[in-house]
């Protein structure tokens, strides 16, 4: 009889772990003209509209503080200094994109 509660606890734990992994945020950014366009989603492919996005310079000054739109996108002007982007989907659910990882930005963009 002790086996059933332990087995049930194991099943619940595995189900909860699966949900946590399935909702890991992912973000891809690219240069589009003179703007940066970021598209976010969750690891399982679900939309991430409304998720907080913050663009900061390397001194941690906030350059842009916004949310992903209905298409799970954020567009902002190319900053004049090196930057990074944080997608914040809640406690422990963050994804960071450095300017060096933005598709289309040349390494020589910032000295």
Question: What structural domains and CATH numbers belong to the chain?
Answer: 25-109 (2.60.40.1930)
Q: Is the predicted pLDDT of residue 18 greater than 50, yes or no? A: no
Dist. CA 79–CA 5, nearest whole Å: 56
Rounded Cα distance between 10 and 44, Å, is: 23
Collapsing DSSP to helix, strand or coil, 10 comes out as: helix
For residue 11, give Cα distances in angstroms to 6, 22, 47, 49: 9, 17, 27, 31
- pTM across the whole model: 0.78
Q: pLDDT of 47-93, one tens digit each?
A: 999 999 999 999 999 999 999 999 999 999 999 999 999 999 999 89
Q: Of the candidates 71, 67, 78, 69, which has an alpha carbon nearest to the alpha carbon of residue 36?
A: 78
């Amino acid at each position: 009889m002790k086996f059933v509660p332990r087995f049930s606890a194991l099943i619940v734990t595995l189900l909860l772990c699966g949900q946590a992994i399935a909702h890991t945020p992912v973000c891809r950014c690219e240069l589009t003209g003179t703007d940066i366009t970021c598209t976010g989603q969750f690891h399982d492919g679900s939309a991430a509209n409304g998720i907080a996005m913050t663009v900061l310079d390397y001194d941690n000054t906030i350059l842009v503080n916004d949310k992903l739109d209905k298409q799970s996108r954020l567009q902002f002007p190319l900053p004049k200094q090196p930057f990074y982007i944080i997608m914040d989907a809640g406690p422990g659910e963050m994804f960071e994109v450095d300017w060096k990882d933005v598709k289309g930005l040349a390494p020589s963009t910032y000295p």
